[in-house]
Amino acid sequence: MSSIVKCPTCQKDVVWQPESEYRPFCSKRCQMIDLGEWASENNRIAQSPQVSEISEADLDKMEAFLTQQDNDFFKN
């Protein structure tokens, strides 16, 4: 038994079955419109902000490493 879903782009009814080439979209046009929305970053998957804290010990290690490098370390 097939289900009926709404096209995410135009809200037209789409039969959910293997023969529905563009499912969940009703057409190639709606599929490409959706792809364009993602490509232009109008759509995005929500996530909570990630906070990455560097410990003082790690900062000290990085500073020690950088001070041991040649003076032209950042020039290349």
- Where residue 26 sits, what CATH number does that domain have? 3.30.50.10
Cis peptide before 24 (omega within 30 of 0): yes
* Per-residue model confidence (pLDDT) at position 12: 96
Inside any domain, residue 9: yes
Dihedral angle over CA of 28, 30, 32, 38, nearest 10: -150
pLDDT tens digits, 62-75: 888 888 877 666 66
Q: How far from the centroid of its chain's Cα atoms is residue 51's Cα?
A: 18
Q: Tell me the pLDDT band of 36, cut-offs 50, 70 and 90.
A: very high
**Residue 73: inside a domain, yes or no?**
no
Q: Does any domain span residue 54?
A: no
Inside any domain, residue 23 = yes
The better pLDDT of the pair 8, 71 is held by 8
pTM: 0.56
**Any domain includes 71:** no
Please report whether residue 7 resides in a domain: yes
Residue 38: per-residue pLDDT: 93
The number of distinct structural domains making up the chain is 1
Domain range enclosing 18: 3-39
Does residue 18 belong to any structural domain of this protein? yes
CA pair distance 26, 8, nearest whole angstrom: 9
